[in-house]
Amino acid sequence: MAELAILHLYPNTLKLNGEVGNLIALKVRAANFGLKVRILNVELSEPLPTKRPHIVFLGSGTLGATKVAAEDLASKGDLLHRWVTDGTKVLAVGSGFDLISQGLQLTDGDFIQGLGLTNTTHSITPNYLVGEVELTKGIAGFINSNRAISRGHAGFEIATVQASDEKALIGYLDGYSDGKVMASNVQGPLLPMNPQLADLLISWVFPKLEKSSSLRTLDSLASKARKAISIRVRS
Amino acid sequence: MLTPLAVLVGKALRFVLRLRGGGSAVPGRIALMIQPKFLQKTLGRMSSGIYFVSGSNGKSTTTAMLVRVLREHGLRVLSNPAGGNLPQGLASALLADVNLLGKLQHDVAILEVDEAYGKLIAAKVAPNGLLLTNIQLDQLNRFHSPEEVFDYLDDLATLTTDLIMVNGSDRNTERLALKHSQRLSAHGVYLSQKALKSAAHGILAAPDFSNDDSNLKLAATLETAKGTKATISLGAKPFAITLPAPGLHYAVDAALAIAFAKQILVEKFSETMAAKAISSLPAVYGRGEIIETRGQKLEIIMMKNLPSLQANLDALDVSPKRVWISVDEGTPDPSWIYDIDLGKLSKVDVISGTKTYQWATRLAYEGIKFGKLIESESDALEYFLGLPGDEKTAIVNYEQMMWLRKKLGLLDLEGGNG
């Protein structure tokens, strides 16, 4: 049985709003694809494993958490870059997205250096955009973000917000996806609510997997959850 | 002359609006328009002071406990019902108690205040003391981060004149009190290691990334907590109390209320009377409350946020036999349900509310079996009460709790019977 090794970076530090649900989705779905899933947790000050994982996951945290994670990440950046070059995929949500970006501009003038795995540069704005969202590509969830994102090249966003109870979110370009890195500010959490993205990420690692029919119930429930959001934000 | 006029108009409006059913902040708003210093003129006359209770969770229970302990000692206590968190809501509540001259017949005011709005009231009537229960992950759609809650409560502490007491085992509230310890008399209630370990997930405090390991002046230690029993030490021999509902979180609330009451009462404080007061307190409005309906006992477990649901699940001895989950738009983003340890739930009988399918998806990923999915909460309630068994558990968010109590004919206002 093939193994899917997932490294969860800073599971207790970057833990704000159910981000672990993304791992749960990957774990359950990968197991249904016939993969044996192994999850390794690495916290602040702990070394990275010697064996390269298939996927690295970073969740979201408070600004304080993001700062301490960024400090720790500085010493891990070179190895993480080598891993990505060698085929490791990265999933990051919320401030985890900030950490793998070019960097995060703070309101006090400080700049948190990111890993540079995306072409996006992030900055904190005075206002949060908060609301349920329906995006293109059948994606739905919730956005609660005060980040402005500038993009080096267009076309790498995951999807665009089409409808929301927060009108200012309509037209919002979410996330980043380039076949190596998947990043998003959509919660729900992202992957349980949008299993097509979980399957896409797994397919980046194992391209020829057959989808199991045992996932139909899960997919149907998630689809109905997204449909409920769609109805709400369009009403 | 403005105060009597504000009282007269406010009381008349209040009478008319209550005839139409329910409470309203309108009378208070009008009273404040007539007399902008209405709160100062009424609350400012308390002989034993004004005290605020705030924090992410446990405000209502701690306020109810503190009120009960002070009343047991003979103080005439004014407190505010839910909805009295804003100046106009508080003014409306006060209109029920003031005489035509704007005078209250109370010795002390114990006010539960919202983390964000508390400073609006404090700006009008500065509290003598502030009691903070905790800073936990709560309402991220509104507060975005516990760091933002820290800032709100920091503002509230800045407006406090004499005393601050906090849960010292919560690093955020401890750090906040330490920040004000030069100006205010700052005290902490700490949990023993034994008490901390009595709940599977501890006190569920928000993370803190500061490096300060200073401690506050010890006001009390929660020595033990098991079920509805707890022991508290105020420096001498620990004494036992009985809690209104099982759970470490209620034991912490009780320790905070008792220690704070001691600060208010000083030499008049009696451990025996405090223990008696807490031990005679019924479950507080939807928090571990058991409602009897149609010959069945329906326990209400609140899922206001991650810490409240986890604390309530941790407090369960065994998996509940019959479970109904109902969550609506009062919880706009339930992403946090993926952080909940659902080990105490072996199955769920029915899920309802607008978040039905988000909860069902969560349970399905966890491999927890569930029965009917009925988005209409009224239909779900009928179905649930029609299931066999006479002991049932409803896991509901705050808004569904309020709806459910009303639906079952419990029409008292939250905190109104404090």
DSSP string for residues in B276-316: HHHHTPPP-TTSS-EEEETTEEEEEEE-SSHHHHHHHHHT-
- Inter-chain contact A222–B357, Cβ cutoff 8 Å? yes
Give SS3 for A221.
Answer: helix
Residues A66-109 have pLDDT tens digits of: 999 999 999 999 999 999 999 999 999 999 999 999 999 999 99
Q: Is B146 on the interface with A (CB under 8 A)?
A: yes
Among B146, B208, B360, whose Cβ lies nearest the Cβ of A221? B360
Domain assignments of chain A as residue spans, ordered by start: 3-125+147-159+172-218
Domain spanning A3-125+147-159+172-218, CATH class: alpha beta
Give SS3 for B264.
Answer: helix
Closest CA to A157 of A129, A188, A124, A135: A135
Please list every residue in chain B whose beta carbon sits closer than 8 Å to the beta carbon of residue A127.
Answer: none
* CA dist., res. A112 & res. A105, Å (int): 6
* CA dist., res. A106 & res. A72, Å (int): 18
Question: Residue A72: what residue type?
Answer: D
User: What is the structure's pLDDT at B414?
Assistant: 55
Q: Is B333 on the interface with A (CB under 8 A)?
A: yes
Nearest chain A residue (CA) to B375 = A228
User: What is the structure's pLDDT at B54?
Assistant: 96
How far is the alpha carbon of B339 from chain A, nearest alpha carbon, in Å?
Answer: 5
The pTM for the full model equals 0.93
Question: Beta strand pairing status for A140-151 and A120-135?
Answer: antiparallel
Closest CA to A19 of A185, A135, A165, A151: A185
Which residues are registered as beta bridge partners of B242?
B229
* CA dist., res. A93 & res. A20, Å (int): 10
Question: Beta strand pairing status for B290-293 and B296-302?
Answer: antiparallel
User: What is the structure's pLDDT at A102?
Assistant: 98
* Residues 6 or more apart whose Cβ sits within 8 Å of residue B142: B116
* CA dist., res. A233 & res. A168, Å (int): 13
Nearest chain B residue (CA) to A141 = B333
- Give the 3-state secondary structure percentages of chain A, helix then strand then coil, rounded to 5: 35, 30, 35
Among A17, A25, A142, whose Cβ lies nearest the Cβ of B365? A25
Residues A149-199 have pLDDT tens digits of: 999 887 899 999 999 999 999 999 999 999 999 999 999 999 999 999 999
Question: Three-state SS string across A69-132, please?
Answer: HHHHHHCCHHHHHHHHHHCCEEEEECHHHHHHCCEEECCCCCEEECCCCCCEEEEEEEEEEEEE
Residues A16-70 have pLDDT tens digits of: 999 999 999 999 999 999 999 999 999 999 999 999 999 999 999 999 999 999 9
Element (H, E) at B19: helix B2-19
Q: Could you give the domains of chain B?
A: 43-279 (3.40.1190.10), 290-407 (3.90.190.20)
C-alpha distance from residue B403 to each of A73, A156, A205, B57 (Å) = 47, 45, 48, 20
Closest CA to B110 of B232, B342, B265: B265
- Inter-chain contact B366–A217, Cβ cutoff 8 Å? no
Residues A209-224 have pLDDT tens digits of: 887 788 999 999 999 9
User: What is the structure's pLDDT at B292?
Assistant: 92
Answer yes or no: are the C-beta atoms of A37 and A4 closer than 8 Å: yes
Nearest chain B residue (CA) to A144 = B141
Among A144, A187, A188, whose Cβ lies nearest the Cβ of B144? A144
User: Hey, how many other C-beta atoms are within 10 angstroms of the C-beta on B395?
Assistant: 24
Phi, psi of B396 (to 5 degrees): -135, 155
* CA dist., res. B81 & res. B310, Å (int): 26
Strands (E), A166-214: 173-174, 176-177, 181-184, 186-187
Question: Residue B143: what residue type?
Answer: F
Answer yes or no: are the C-beta atoms of B89 and B10 closer than 8 Å: no
Strands (E), B151-208: 163-167, 185-191
Q: Is B207 on the interface with A (CB under 8 A)?
A: yes
Element (H, E) at B63: helix B59-72
Question: Residue B159: what residue type?
Answer: L
Among B357, B360, B365, whose Cβ lies nearest the Cβ of A24? B365
Question: Three-state SS string across A128-155, please?
Answer: EEEEEEEEHHHCEEEEEEEEEEEECCCC
| Predicted ipTM of the assembly | 0.97
- Inter-chain contact A21–B335, Cβ cutoff 8 Å? yes
- Inter-chain contact B147–A64, Cβ cutoff 8 Å? yes
Q: Is B212 on the interface with A (CB under 8 A)?
A: no
Residues of chain B with pLDDT under 70: 21-23, 81-84, 286, 411-418
Dihedral sign for Cα atoms in the order B124, B130, B131, B137: positive
Provide the token pair at B175. 């750090």
* CA dist., res. A169 & res. B216, Å (int): 44
User: What is the structure's pLDDT at B283?
Assistant: 77
- Inter-chain contact B335–A18, Cβ cutoff 8 Å? yes
Among A68, A217, A222, whose Cβ lies nearest the Cβ of B209? A68
Count of H helices and E strands in chain B?
Answer: 16, 15
Nearest chain B residue (CA) to A146 = B144
* CA dist., res. B64 & res. B79, Å (int): 9
